[in-house]
């Protein structure tokens, strides 16, 4: 399958391909493929082909669990999973290697469970030093196994005594750079300065898509973090404009601004030596929603000699690895459909 004319962009897919119309007036290309073969097109693109063995195996287990847990997500559209980061990246067999295939084969049929039920197998690239609870990012009930975990092999921060919901504690935490699983990773800590005009343009575009009456604002007077979660994620951020104050909640914050790549940040007003507000520095850490396993952190733990089971227990406390059986609560299916929309 090729998008465009460059042969290097071509992807190889196993199984059956079907072109079907969709509700958007275009077409969807659906690939019907067995579960274990599907994973051959996920693991290399999610964690890479150079990841240590145990982290690659942990990725295979969690990707398998995610696929089965979400198998009815797009049932109304005539397929089961999407093929991008809204689900899991699936690019077919072009990127499959002997090492990724071995990790999949070694863990064949293994899934992660909590009380004999498939876990909500969420994971992200980089947590920024602490994982997030489910409710830090989305609405809905928290999962007992998706709670804030300090992403370090050592006792570097006491979350019970120093909650990151407190702004001073949070800024001290973000200033720490050593001793975490992700310390050597570029996006573990970041700082991005953006002038007020550019922030305004991005916000106006975001609000227009949401049909918000505040999309008509002209100028930003100021911005402030109003509420943080225990893991430090922004739950509520106020934006004061010429037509009033509006609020961004949870993962809206990441979508509304171009600069931050997670909601784990604080705002630093800048004037650049001139009167008035020039803009803001977004100072934070991590990449993605931060819930569940950190792909970067898992690789560091694997280098320390941790097994796939120990890595998964660390990021999903109280869970167990099981081989698929009739006692596990999930929808039985022997194949998974993935899809890519044709433009």
Summarised one tens digit per residue, pLDDT across range 300-326 is 999 999 999 999 999 999 999 999 999
Residue with tokens 């990246």: 89
How far apart are alpha carbons 123 and 126 in whole angstroms? 9
pLDDT single digits (tens) 255-312: 999 999 999 999 999 999 888 999 999 999 999 999 999 999 999 999 999 999 999 9
- Stretches in the chain below the pLDDT threshold 50: 332-335, 340-343
Residue 286 pLDDT: 97
Using alpha carbons, select from 284, 312, 282 the residue that is nearest to residue 297: 312
Measured distance CA(2)–CA(11) in Å, rounded? 6
CA–chain centroid gap for 218, Å, is 32
Give pTM, 2 decimals: 0.91
Which stretches of 11-136 are DSSP H helices?
A: 35-40, 43-46, 53-69, 98-106
pLDDT at 75: 86
d(CA 105, CA 329) in angstroms, rounded, equals: 23
Q: In what order do the strands lie in the sheet with 244-249?
A: 220-228, 234-241, 244-249
How many CB atoms within 10 Å of residue 127? 34
């Amino acid at each position: 399958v090729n998008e465009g004319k460059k042969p290097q962009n071509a992807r190889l897919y196993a199984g059956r391909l079907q072109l079907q119309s969709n509700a958007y007036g275009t077409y969807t290309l659906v690939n019907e493929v067995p579960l274990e073969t599907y994973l051959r097109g996920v693991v290399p693109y999610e964690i890479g082909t150079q990841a240590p063995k145990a982290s690659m195996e942990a990725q295979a287990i969690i990707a398998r669990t995610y696929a089965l847990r979400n198998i009815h997500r797009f049932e109304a559209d005539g397929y089961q999973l999407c093929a991008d980061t809204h689900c899991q990246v699936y690019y077919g067999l072009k990127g499959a290697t002997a090492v990724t295939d071995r990790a999949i084969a070694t863990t064949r049929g293994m899934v992660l469970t909590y009380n004999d039920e498939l876990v909500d197998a969420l994971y992200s690239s980089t947590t920024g030093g602490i994982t997030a609870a489910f409710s830090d990012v989305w609405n809905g009930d928290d999962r007992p196994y998706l709670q804030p975990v300090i992403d370090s092999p050592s006792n570097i921060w006491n979350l019970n005594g120093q909650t990151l919901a407190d702004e001073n504690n949070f800024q001290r935490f973000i200033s720490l750079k050593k001793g975490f699983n992700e310390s050597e990773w570029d996006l573990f800590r970041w700082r991005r300065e953006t002038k007020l005009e550019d922030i305004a343009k991005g916000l106006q575009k975001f609000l227009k898509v949401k049909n918000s009456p505040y999309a008509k604002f002209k100028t930003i007077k100021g911005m402030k973090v109003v509420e943080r979660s225990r893991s430090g994620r922004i739950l509520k951020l106020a934006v004061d404009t010429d037509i009033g104050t509006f609020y961004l909640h949870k993962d809206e914050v990441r979508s509304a601004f171009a600069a931050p790549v997670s909601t784990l940040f604080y705002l630093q007003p800048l004037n650049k030596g001139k009167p008035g507000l020039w803009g803001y520095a977004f100072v934070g850490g991590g990449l993605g929603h931060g819930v569940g396993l950190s792909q970067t952190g898992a690789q560091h733990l694997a280098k320390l000699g941790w097994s796939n089971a120990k890595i998964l227990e660390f990021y999903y406390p109280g869970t167990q690895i099981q081989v698929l059986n009739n006692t596990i609560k999930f929808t039985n299916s022997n194949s998974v459909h993935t899809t890519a929309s044709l433009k």
